[in-house]
Structure 1
């Protein structure tokens, strides 16, 4: 019960990270030794982590309702309902791209569709409710602006990118057109909110003191919606031939042009984010204390890599294949480091106090603080 009480929606960042590494390993456009096997193992791990996370989240609402409601009253914790939504969509996408090769393909596709619908509903909920609370309830200062503000507005574009893969499986042309219209609407919602929030983040970086070592990983969140935009725009021309046949060449040209342009700004954000992290690892910095925000080194890089993969499939240009391979290696390095640090943090009780010794130590610290 103590673990359930502590369990917030920020833990779904682990679902996002494991899920995107699994699918990128399995569907790599370049050969990876044992890639399919590793992808399947990670897919199995994803199901375990998501199942546990969902149960803990559900039990928290049942047994600690006040704690769960307090998440929405807190300007930082409320943001991570976006992670909950994105985690659902990542799981659904993995069932389509990995599960369909393991289980009965028809069943896996139907499971993916059901999960996608659930993820879309939660995505629309977060993109409306969390910003509204930020506007009318939460009290924040301009210097508190972080790229984590993107977390609740990114889910619709994740739903759009993952939903694009499902377009051919929605029956006739009418149903496929309706799904495509929804996907484009969600893409537009996140894309323009991303531009506005990024302007606020840029302003904060210019006019206020530099980001602390604790906040530095948050900058990597900026890369996520860029990658998902690339994935959506590059995949749409391939998946919508049945309904936009006469416009196929136009869609292909638009997808290629905008994705290539977005790839450039993505590289810029990667360089800026990396320089912030390197700064805090140097003598001039404060260090990079580990916390769950380190998963910002995983899913956003994975998102950008998935966008590059989609661009490879669209243009079939060797440059993007090489770039995708480089990004994949960086992603795996970050994933291994963050996953191990998270496992150690859980075992030691730094992230979740789950043993009696953890709770006793916490009580002693609280007693000393009170004294």
Structure 2
């Protein structure tokens, strides 16, 4: 087990994120389809199990291989994925509200959702403070190194805000509900403006520097993740805060309608750009896109954008967003199947996780011949 745990960095939590958001979106699909609720429940339970397993292995790594775990903070790539840990906790916490309340005792599921949300917020704040600080002071980074992955450590607060918007009415009293709403909007603002700054750096890199290489092409999709979560926050708060902020609801609905719709247009544009980028690398002009855990960037960001479209539909009741939400879910399901099969194959053959003796021996042989 320790040899496996040594290999479990925070990047493995991207799998939990993808499975978790697939469960919640499938279960709550605006357009019902055969067995969608059973599929959603299965994905929710699998995501919850994967979170527990990943946390156990990751904690074991810290205990048994402390130096390796500490070294992650000095690596400009691995450090970014502390954001994945935070988002994985928040996604499963949100699933306990969306799905768990229908299969477990409701009050218990809500309490678990709240507990996981608080834990996710704590890790989110650690990620959004510690990792950028290390990037500012310790990591050697050039302007042409900017990639979509730079968003990973700063996105968690807005994921927490979008998920937290669902549970705003359940904190126990009006004063606490109002306080949590203010805190939720603070989390939203914390990420949203960092998202704008990092997006500008990434846009400049795309304009003025070399093409993002094939193995990083999936990271281009990360941009639509915070867009979707921002849509979800803006569109959900007017629906969940009406009981304790009645005088603010008309204004919040207007802000949600205008803001979320405008962001949806941006997300559609970026989705087209990201698709063209991937197709370019799959064509003769590109380098190909070798499989890695980075392929989960085809799942969670698109899932986040789909969740934002769900929220916009619930706010507006417009057929446009009803149809768009279902189309996005179908595309997401296709991506999910492809990426999941790739991960299973990589685990079985040892290319992602060496868990059999011959996996390690093959790795040594490859290292000697490379």
Whether TM-score is above 0.5 comes out as yes
For residues 266 and 205 of structure 2, the distance between their equivalents in structure 1, rounded to whole angstroms, comes to 19
Per-residue CA distance 1:282-313 (angstroms, 9 max, x = gap): 11111111111000000000000000000000
For residues 346 and 368 of structure 2, the distance between their equivalents in structure 1, rounded to whole angstroms, comes to 23
Q: Give secondary structure in 1 for the equivalent of 2:231.
A: helix
Asked if residue 290 in structure 1 is aligned to residue 291 in structure 2, the reply is: yes
Deviation at 1:250, TM superposition (A): 1.1
Deviation at 1:3, TM superposition (A): 1.1
Per-residue CA distance 1:69-94 (angstroms, 9 max, x = gap): 01111110000000000000001000
Per-residue CA distance 1:251-281 (angstroms, 9 max, x = gap): 1111011000000000111011000000011
* Count of aligned positions: 369
Per-residue CA distance 1:181-233 (angstroms, 9 max, x = gap): 11000100100000000000000001101111111110100000000000000
Paired position in structure 1 for 2:359: 358
Paired position in structure 1 for 2:257: 256
Q: Give secondary structure in 2 for the equivalent of 1:30.
A: coil
For residues 341 and 104 of structure 2, the distance between their equivalents in structure 1, rounded to whole angstroms, comes to 30
Asked if residue 74 in structure 1 is aligned to residue 87 in structure 2, the reply is: no
For residues 28 and 11 of structure 2, the distance between their equivalents in structure 1, rounded to whole angstroms, comes to 27
For residues 363 and 237 of structure 1, the distance between their equivalents in structure 2, rounded to whole angstroms, comes to 57
Q: Give secondary structure in 1 for the equivalent of 2:289.
A: coil
Per-residue CA distance 1:337-366 (angstroms, 9 max, x = gap): 000000000100000111001011122233
Q: Give secondary structure in 2 for the equivalent of 1:286.
A: coil
For residues 314 and 52 of structure 2, the distance between their equivalents in structure 1, rounded to whole angstroms, comes to 32
Paired position in structure 2 for 1:144: 145
For residues 327 and 112 of structure 1, the distance between their equivalents in structure 2, rounded to whole angstroms, comes to 26
Paired position in structure 2 for 1:129: 130
Per-residue CA distance 1:67-120 (angstroms, 9 max, x = gap): 000111111000000000000000100011111111111111111111100000
For residues 33 and 303 of structure 2, the distance between their equivalents in structure 1, rounded to whole angstroms, comes to 16
Per-residue CA distance 1:123-166 (angstroms, 9 max, x = gap): 01100000000000100111111010000000000000000101
Paired position in structure 2 for 1:244: 245
Paired position in structure 1 for 2:205: 204
Asked if residue 320 in structure 1 is aligned to residue 321 in structure 2, the reply is: yes
Aligned runs of 1:43-82 on 2, under 5 Å?
43-82=44-83
Asked if residue 40 in structure 1 is aligned to residue 53 in structure 2, the reply is: no
Aligned runs of 1:1-371 on 2, under 5 Å?
1-369=2-370
Deviation at 1:249, TM superposition (A): 1.0
Unaligned runs of 5+ in 2: none
Deviation at 1:175, TM superposition (A): 0.2
Q: Give secondary structure in 1 for the equivalent of 2:269.
A: helix
For residues 70 and 291 of structure 1, the distance between their equivalents in structure 2, rounded to whole angstroms, comes to 21
For residues 216 and 228 of structure 2, the distance between their equivalents in structure 1, rounded to whole angstroms, comes to 22
User: Where do 4+ consecutive residues of structure 1 move more than 6 Å?
Assistant: none
For residues 166 and 295 of structure 2, the distance between their equivalents in structure 1, rounded to whole angstroms, comes to 29
For residues 261 and 367 of structure 1, the distance between their equivalents in structure 2, rounded to whole angstroms, comes to 53
Deviation at 1:33, TM superposition (A): 1.0
